[in-house]
């Protein structure tokens, strides 16, 4: 299939439709609005539902309803809106419902700004709402990946009965690139647990997150974490770039990884042995490549659009065997390749920037 | 000949409600309506947070437990997923008229084709008797220990009167279940609210003035009298909106 | 003649049925305690029952079956 030029947000929307999603609920917020606008145009033409909800809270609960009925469904928002969805994300986890959520991050906290950010890393990788739970968090770094990880997100959500989230940022959402929409979609699994009506032929199904007996609630939590272990074993995704002989390793995802790749190439031209580890799944976090790299690099640099959030996972994964420094911009600012290059040069000299 | 027996759509288990609480009557009426319309197999009910949080254990149809106040949004999702299914929410006053007011108003404004059973007992039951948005002026509750003072905490919210002003909703009626005659009338209203959905008419809400003997601090019998004497004057019974009847030149 | 059957174990002794019976057929059995700890309803004067089902309609726990 030929490539088409699309915005990242539009690529997510079209890929969701290709993945079989026919129900979208959302509330306007910059910088993800193109997803809703795209769905508003497309859904009525393919027999789907686009509904602008009265709030982010209502939107995520409409998602809860469609997910209960066993169909693929999504919502999208940006940072402040995702906070509002936190309640629903927790209930979706508690009821073991598959759902697909997009966060096109902007600077925070509070109303913050509308420019790109990665400062919802903690919120998304640690759950986002109350209680013990995780979401599968996917971090695309190109428009093509926006599309591919959307399809993957729907598949993983169904496979593990949980929420899969695309954690993008304003740059990813707004930028245009050629994208191939020749996407392979696996058949959704059977959902015998769905509330689709008993047809008087089976016991009633109940979708629920309430469990008042502590022994039973403990069992449910433990079982959910057993499932998470399988995901941590089977679903970790990452890219290693020029890591074979690296003395310095950069950790970066999303737009920060794109910037960092340029810096890595520049540094290599200068003779510095530097590579990049790019987590594609932020949860489950790719611990193995960091543990392996910790055996041969002298320093990690975590390049982030936050005050340093992923850096904690880099330290945990590398067991702090070598120093991990932060190279960052926040508030909607993006590190330049020059800034990252300077950090690489400093790291190669063994000093901190 | 059997004159009266438990409806099939109501599961044969003891209800957790307090003695004399009229939640049980309303549960049974909803189940009877499901039986009579033959819709149990294609109905999905949404339970709220509050005393009826465990309603999913009592209805034989498929059930979903929603977050506090979010039942109309969840119902919207379920109904949009498959409009051929029958979807109802069962919500108390705290759930529907306080934390979930936005979801209620907007589902009504969209004329979402769902049925809403709204239990108004003027108090938060499950958490032990706090002031509700529908608590009466002067009503003593755990969080209005000197009586509800409108200067401090405003006035009771009249849901049917408020929603009536919207163009969206199809049918709004307030009933009660404090006497045999009122129970019969309540069932008629609930049946109509489900029939409306089957006919594709849209958002149908039945507000049921219900008793809470435990948190009102009364005998079950006195609680029923309190509905007559105190609640009905503030919350008059009747049809507040019936768009199809109006369009057909009906009575209201 | 009408016949009343009670699921006595589920009765909470609220007495709403007693108060709405037009014939005074019912009473709470003060000499009995069911497994939930309540005095369950019983038909004191079953012969007087006309099978109107008022009791069943007011029972919040759906424990009364009425036959005629």
Per-residue confidence of chain A (353 residues) as pLDDT tens digits?
Answer: 689 999 999 999 999 999 999 999 999 999 999 999 999 999 999 999 999 999 999 999 999 999 999 999 999 999 999 999 999 999 999 999 999 999 999 999 999 999 999 999 999 999 889 999 999 999 999 999 999 999 999 999 999 999 999 999 989 999 999 999 999 999 999 999 999 999 999 999 999 999 999 999 999 999 999 999 999 999 999 999 999 999 999 999 999 999 999 999 999 999 999 999 999 999 999 999 999 999 999 999 999 999 999 999 999 999 999 999 999 999 999 999 999 999 999 999 975 44
At B194 the pLDDT is: 98
At A350 the pLDDT is: 78
Indicate which CATH number applies to the domain containing A125. 3.40.50.970
Beta strands C26-28; C41-43: pairing state: antiparallel
For the stretch A120-151, what's the b/e string if a residue is b when 16 or more beta carbons lie within 10 angstroms of its beta carbon?
bbebbbebbbeeebbbbbbbbbbbbbbbbbbb
At B22 the pLDDT is: 98
Which residue of chain A has the CA closest to B87?
Answer: A197
Contact state of B4 with C53 under an 8 Å Cβ cutoff: yes
User: What is the DSSP secondary structure assignment for residue B50, as one 8-state letter?
Assistant: S
Domain hosting residue C40, numbered range = 3-67
Among A59, A201, A209, the residue with its CB nearest the CB of B65 is A209
Q: What is the largest CA-CA distance in chain C?
A: 32
> Count of domains in chain C?
1
Residues of B in contact with C49 (CB under 8 A): none
C-alpha dihedral sign at A21, A27, A32, A34: positive
Supply φ then ψ for residue A49, to 5 degrees: -115, 125
User: What is the DSSP secondary structure assignment for residue C39, as one 8-state letter?
Assistant: -
Indicate which CATH number applies to the domain containing C35. 3.30.70.20
At A128 the pLDDT is: 85
Q: Which residues pair with B28 in a beta bridge?
A: none
Q: Are residues A179 and A312 in the same domain?
A: no
Using alpha carbons only, how large is chain C's radius of gyration in Å? 11
At B64 the pLDDT is: 98
Q: How far is CA A118 from CA A34, A125, A304, in A?
A: 19, 12, 7
Can you state the angle between helices B180-198 and B23-37, rounded to 10 degrees? 50
Asked if residue A192 is part of any domain, the answer here is no
Beta strands A136-138; A281-283: pairing state: antiparallel
Q: Are residues A82 and A122 in the same domain?
A: yes
Q: Position of tokens 């919502």? A: A75
Asked if residue A353 is part of any domain, the answer here is no
Q: Are residues A258 and A148 in the same domain?
A: no
Question: Hey, is the C-beta of B75 within 8 angstroms of any chain C C-beta?
Answer: no
Asked if residue A149 is part of any domain, the answer here is yes
Beta strands B238-242; B171-176: pairing state: antiparallel
Q: Are residues A265 and A229 in the same domain?
A: no
Question: Counting Cβ atoms within 10 Å, is residue B6 exposed (0-12), middle (13-18) or buried (19+)?
Answer: buried
Cβ A276 vs Cβ A252: under 8 Å: yes
Asked if residue A200 is part of any domain, the answer here is no
Asked if residue A70 is part of any domain, the answer here is yes
- Which among A274, A319, A315 is positioned nearest to A297, based on CA atoms? A274
Question: Hey, is the C-beta of B33 within 8 angstroms of any chain C C-beta?
Answer: no
- Which among A121, A125, A177 is positioned nearest to A146, based on CA atoms? A177
Among B54, B62, B73, the residue with its CB nearest the CB of A197 is B62
Residue of C5, C13, C16 to mutate when probing chain B, most B C-beta within 10 A: C16
Q: Are residues A226 and A250 in the same domain?
A: no
Asked if residue A199 is part of any domain, the answer here is no
Q: How far is CA A236 from CA A228, A231, A232, B50, in A?
A: 11, 7, 6, 40
Question: Hey, is the C-beta of B181 within 8 angstroms of any chain C C-beta?
Answer: no
Chains A and B contact (Cβ–Cβ under 8 Å for 3 or more pairs): yes
ipTM beyond cut 0.95: yes
Question: Hey, is the C-beta of B23 within 8 angstroms of any chain C C-beta?
Answer: yes
Can you state the angle between helices A143-160 and A214-234, rounded to 10 degrees? 140
Question: Hey, is the C-beta of B22 within 8 angstroms of any chain C C-beta?
Answer: yes
Helix or strand run (H / E) with residue B191: helix B180-198
Residues of B in contact with A23 (CB under 8 A): 77, 80-81
Chains C and A contact (Cβ–Cβ under 8 Å for 3 or more pairs): no
Average pLDDT, chain B: 96
Supply φ then ψ for residue A38, to 5 degrees: -65, -45
Cβ B11 vs Cβ B59: under 8 Å: yes
Structural domains present in chain B: 23-247 (3.40.50.970)
Cβ A73 vs Cβ A67: under 8 Å: yes
Supply φ then ψ for residue A8, to 5 degrees: -55, -45
Region B219-245 average pLDDT: 97
Residues of C in contact with B219 (CB under 8 A): 15
Boundary residue ending a domain (A234, A268, A291): A234
Asked if residue A291 is part of any domain, the answer here is yes
DSSP track, B126-189: TTTSEE-TTPPTT--BTTBTT---HHHH-----HHHHHHTSSS-SEEEEEE-SSHHHHHHHHHH
At B246 the pLDDT is: 82
* pLDDT tens per residue, range B65-106: 999 999 999 999 999 999 999 999 999 999 999 999 999 999
Among A54, A66, A196, the residue with its CB nearest the CB of B62 is A196
> Count of domains in chain A?
2
Residue of B16, B45, B67, B101 to mutate when probing chain A, most A C-beta within 10 A: B67
Q: Are residues A243 and A175 in the same domain?
A: no
Domain hosting residue A89, numbered range = 3-186+209-234
* pLDDT tens per residue, range A273-285: 999 999 999 999 9
Cβ A10 vs Cβ A34: under 8 Å: yes
Indicate which CATH number applies to the domain containing A301. 3.40.50.920
Length of chain A: 353
Q: Are residues A133 and A76 in the same domain?
A: yes
CA B57 to chain centroid, in Å, comes to: 18
CA angle A191, B77, A143 (to 5 degrees): 80
């Amino acid at each position: 299939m030929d490539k088409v030029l699309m915005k990242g947000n539009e690529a997510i929307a079209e890929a969701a439709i290709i993945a079989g999603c026919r129900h979208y609920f959302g509330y306007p917020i910059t910088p993800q609005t193109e997803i809703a606008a795209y769905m508003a145009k497309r859904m009525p033409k393919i027999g789907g539902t686009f509904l602008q909800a009265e709030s982010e809270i209502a939107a995520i609960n409409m998602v809860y309803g469609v997910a209960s009925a066993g169909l693929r469904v999504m919502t999208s928002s940006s940072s402040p809106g995702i906070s509002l969805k936190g309640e629903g994300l927790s209930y979706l986890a508690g009821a073991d419902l598959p759902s697909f959520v997009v966060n096109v991050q902007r600077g925070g906290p509070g109303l913050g700004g509308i420019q790109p950010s990665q400062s919802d890393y903690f919120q998304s990788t640690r759950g986002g709402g109350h209680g013990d739970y995780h979401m599968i968090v996917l971090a695309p770094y190109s428009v093509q990946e926006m599309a591919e990880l959307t399809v993957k997100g729907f598949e993983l959500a169904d496979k593990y009965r949980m929420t899969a989230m695309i954690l993008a940022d304003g740059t990813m959402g707004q930028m245009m690139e050629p994208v191939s929409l020749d996407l392979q979609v696996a058949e959704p699994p059977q959902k015998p647990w769905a509330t689709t009506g008993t047809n008087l032929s089976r016991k009633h199904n109940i979708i629920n997150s309430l469990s008042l007996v502590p022994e039973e609630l403990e069992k449910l939590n433990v079982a959910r974490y057993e499932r998470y272990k399988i995901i941590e074993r089977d679903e970790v995704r990452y890219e290693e770039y020029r890591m074979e002989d690296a003395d310095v390793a950069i950790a970066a995802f999303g737009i920060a990884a794109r910037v960092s790749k340029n810096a890595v190439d520049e540094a290599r031209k200068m003779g510095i042995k530097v590579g990049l580890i790019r987590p594609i799944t932020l949860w489950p976090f790719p611990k193995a490549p960091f543990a392996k790299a910790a055996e041969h690099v002298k320093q990690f640099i975590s390049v982030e659009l936050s005050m340093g959030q992923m850096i904690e996972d880099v330290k945990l994964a590398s067991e702090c065997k070598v120093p991990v420094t932060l190279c960052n911009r926040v508030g909607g600012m993006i590190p330049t390749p020059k800034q990252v290059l300077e950090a690489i040069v400093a790291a190669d000299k063994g000093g901190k920037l | 000949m059997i004159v009266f027996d438990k409806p099939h759509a109501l599961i044969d288990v003891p209800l957790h409600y307090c003695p004399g609480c009229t939640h049980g009557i309303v549960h049974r009426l909803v189940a009877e309506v499901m039986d009579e319309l033959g819709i149990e197999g294609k109905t999905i009910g949404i339970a709220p947070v509050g005393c009826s949080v465990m309603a999913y254990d009592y209805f034989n149809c498929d059930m979903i437990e929603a977050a506090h106040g979010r039942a109309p949004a969840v119902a919207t999702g379920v109904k949009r997923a498959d409009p051929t299914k029958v979807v109802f929410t069962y919500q108390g006053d705290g759930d529907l008229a306080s934390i979930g007011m936005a979801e209620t108003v907007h589902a009504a404004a969209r004329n979402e084709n769902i049925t809403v059973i709204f239990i108004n007992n003027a108090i938060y039951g499950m958490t032990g008797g706090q002031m509700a948005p529908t608590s009466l002026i002067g009503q003593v509750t755990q969080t209005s220990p000197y009586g509800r003072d409108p200067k401090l905490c405003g006035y009771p919210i009249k849901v049917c009167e408020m929603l009536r002003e919207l163009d969206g909703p199809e049918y709004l009626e307030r009933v009660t279940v404090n006497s045999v005659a009122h129970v019969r009338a309540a069932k008629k209203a609930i049946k109509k609210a489900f029939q409306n959905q089957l006919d594709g008419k849209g958002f149908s809400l039945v507000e049921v003035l219900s008793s809470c003997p435990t948190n009102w601090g009364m005998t079950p019998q006195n609680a029923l009298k309190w509905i007559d004497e105190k609640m009905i004057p503030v919350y008059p019974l009747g049809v507040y909106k019936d768009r199809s009847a109006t369009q057909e030149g009906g009575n209201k | 003649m009408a016949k009343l059957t009670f699921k006595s174990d589920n009765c909470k002794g609220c007495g709403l049925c007693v108060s709405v019976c037009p014939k005074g057929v019912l009473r709470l059995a003060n000499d009995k305690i069911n497994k939930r700890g309540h005095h369950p309803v019983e038909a004191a004067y079953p012969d007087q029952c006309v099978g109107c089902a008022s009791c069943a309609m007011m029972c919040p726990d759906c424990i009364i079956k009425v036959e005629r």
